[in-house]
Amino acid sequence: MPFVRPYVRSDGTPVRGHTRWAPGARRELTIFAFAALVVLGYGNSADAGDASGTRPQPRVSYPVRYDRPVTGEQGRAVPSPTVSYPIRFDTHAPRRAVPTPTVSYPIDFSRLGSGR
């Protein structure tokens, strides 16, 4: 939206500064605003996405009862896998020992028997 600075017309009429919409911009903005209101209105309606307007019934009845016993030797619950793929958990690998130096510094080459 450009701003038009104040000016004087050729017939001497002064014109104040104002903003001007591009041709067709008001119509496009009106269509966009109307579409946005329709989407918001439909998305917030009580029966959005459901033709009957009823909520789905839960498929689980509480308390949960198991068909087979899930206790171990000491009477504690035994976990059973709920997925068919292995889940790897991050385990911290033990730190390797830092090697201790076997050389004491400064190195005395005369003791090594070399002729340096």
pLDDT at position 95, please? 77
Helix (H, G, I), strand (E, B) or coil at 29: helix
**pLDDT of amino acid 3:** 84
Give every CB contact of residue 53 below 8 A, 6+ residues apart in sequence. 46, 47
C-alpha distances (whole Å) from 69 to each of 20, 61, 79, 81 are 78, 19, 11, 15
State pLDDT tens for residues 63-95: 767 666 555 566 666 666 677 777 777 777 777
CB 78 within 8 A of CB 71: yes
Residue 12 has pLDDT above 80, yes or no: yes
Decide if 72 contacts 80 (C-beta within 8 A): no
